[in-house]
Structure 1
């Protein structure tokens, strides 16, 4: 609805501006300086009303009308000059332009605020990382909580693995920001190929750390760890006409869920991060 109103007001403004410009050309040249100043004042009021709002725009146009009206009255009373028809046109056009541009400015700001609000709400519901296709940290914690409940109830072995790319900033400095997205996407794909269908992978909030939920004991998790390090070691970047080989060092931490300790999702992540420190 707001967009339709904006379209209508823009069309009205375009038609009015077209008419004013053509009318200005047809005005007598005797009052050229006066009309030029008023035309400039009209466009200045239009810009001001668009940026500020209706009240300030009306005040500005009222001030302009007051001084112009005083000038016309002085010429009529003191000098005996007649009041020509173009004077009335300017007295109508100045507040009319102010009102139209103020409405347009308010509608655009309303649409911008709504767009920002919708983008914020959209970001709250987004669960898939656009670059890698992996689910994000919000889903990771939700699914990990479900896995903990299943592991506790059915005594299923559960392991949490964190995979972090070392020297992330250095590699990004070598390959560039855009190519770094390809590197991260390539890592995410390799992680998916290194795990089973029942396992799940996620990319965490820092963009350089991945999480894997593995339904299996720590021995099986270490097998996956070795497989990941074999699959993710070097990345061949096609840059310009030559291939640049970038060595990727991964630091991996593993922790197993212990029903007796009954840790929560954050505790399991901290334990995996602590184990990551010993991966050399």
Structure 2
């Protein structure tokens, strides 16, 4: 990262220096050829833009074509019209490829830094285990904790139940009342989930519309008690968020499944629990 930053500073400084020198040259050499100098400046800026946005190779190709065209014109003027090439001709022939090269290198180093930042952001998201909307643990924590509890239940022949709660018509609600209000409802659902479970249970936000609960030392009957408690909480959320002019139901489905030794992985366990949502009518 430091290497790319250093290169970025160097090429940016060189690019600015070249622009400064060319502008200074134009100012001191301006006269009856003022228009041609400004035209060359315009061409150089176009080459810099091409090289910056498309890369160093297209920029150098464009500058080579420009140098060939302008060099051919200067040679023609020298041979046919006996017009000697002056200093400005040589300056521009060097400035075109040099500007394209430095702009391309500047762009390459900028792209490296942007890609590195993108990768760092992705890695940071992997380290973050808290859902920012609800404050619950996220999917990564769910699978990690569930794997541990499955191992413990398998080892000690204990009970373990997993529950998923899915908010129905999430996309429709977002379109109807907006993402901010929906996030507020999700926050209340998350709070209700936390109030309904024990301290030793784990509550998680699994996706935009789905929550999960890992309940160690809990069988079917204990899980049903939690389900009934949450359904009551969810009905109160629906009443609280409805008004006289705007009424809507918060339809929530709940699926629950106790652990059996035949379930081999937390991913399989979650998939099996999600299938139970179909039977919650």
Give the TM-score of the pair, scaled to structure 1: 0.85
Q: For the structure 1 residues 269 and 102, does the alpha-carbon distance in structure 2 shift closer, same or farther, using more than 3 Å as the test?
A: closer
Give the TM-score of the pair, scaled to structure 2: 0.85
Within 2, Cα distance between the matches of 1:108 and 1:164? Answer: 43
Q: In the alignment, does 2:64 pair up with 1:86?
A: no
Within 2, Cα distance between the matches of 1:24 and 1:107? Answer: 30
User: CA-to-partner distance for each residue in 1:161-219, whole Å, 9 max, x for gaps?
Assistant: 111112222322222123222222221122111111100011224x2111111132222
SS of corresponding position for 2:32: helix
Q: Please tell me whether the aligned partners of residues 242 and 248 of structure 2 are also in contact (alpha carbons under 8 angstroms).
A: no
Residue 175 (structure 2) aligns with: 173
Query: Which runs of structure 1 show a deviation greater than 6 angstroms over 4 or more consecutive aligned residues?
Result: none
Residue 259 (structure 2) aligns with: 257
Residue 53 (structure 1) aligns with: 55
Residue 189 (structure 1) aligns with: 191
Q: For the structure 1 residues 183 and 3, does the alpha-carbon distance in structure 2 shift closer, same or farther, using more than 3 Å as the test?
A: farther
User: CA-to-partner distance for each residue in 1:236-264, whole Å, 9 max, x for gaps?
Assistant: 4599xx996653222112222234x5564
Does 104-113 or 58-67 show the bigger shift?
58-67
Residue 220 (structure 2) aligns with: 218
- Residue-pair matches, total: 276
Within 2, Cα distance between the matches of 1:225 and 1:271? Answer: 17
Within 2, Cα distance between the matches of 1:95 and 1:263? Answer: 63
The runs of 5 or more residues in structure 1 that have no matched partner are none
Residue 277 (structure 1) aligns with: 278
Within 1, Cα distance between the matches of 2:270 and 2:47? Answer: 59
Within 2, Cα distance between the matches of 1:113 and 1:39? Answer: 32
Q: In the alignment, does 2:147 pair up with 1:116?
A: no
Within 2, Cα distance between the matches of 1:54 and 1:265? Answer: 49
Residue 227 (structure 1) aligns with: 229
Residue 27 (structure 1) aligns with: 29
Residue 69 (structure 2) aligns with: 67
Deviation at 1:41, TM superposition (A): 1.6
Within 2, Cα distance between the matches of 1:258 and 1:59? Answer: 66
Higher helix share: 2
The runs of 5 or more residues in structure 2 that have no matched partner are none
Deviation at 1:84, TM superposition (A): 2.6
Within 2, Cα distance between the matches of 1:150 and 1:208? Answer: 29
Q: Please tell me whether the aligned partners of residues 237 and 243 of structure 1 are also in contact (alpha carbons under 8 angstroms).
A: no
Q: RMSD across aligned C-alpha pairs, in angstroms? A: 2.7
Residue 152 (structure 1) aligns with: 154
Deviation at 1:71, TM superposition (A): 2.3
Does 167-176 or 49-58 show the bigger shift?
49-58
Q: For the structure 1 residues 97 and 268, does the alpha-carbon distance in structure 2 shift closer, same or farther, using more than 3 Å as the test?
A: closer
Q: Please tell me whether the aligned partners of residues 257 and 263 of structure 1 are also in contact (alpha carbons under 8 angstroms).
A: no
Within 1, Cα distance between the matches of 2:15 and 2:149? Answer: 60
**Pairs within 5 Å for 1:12-23:** 12-23=14-25
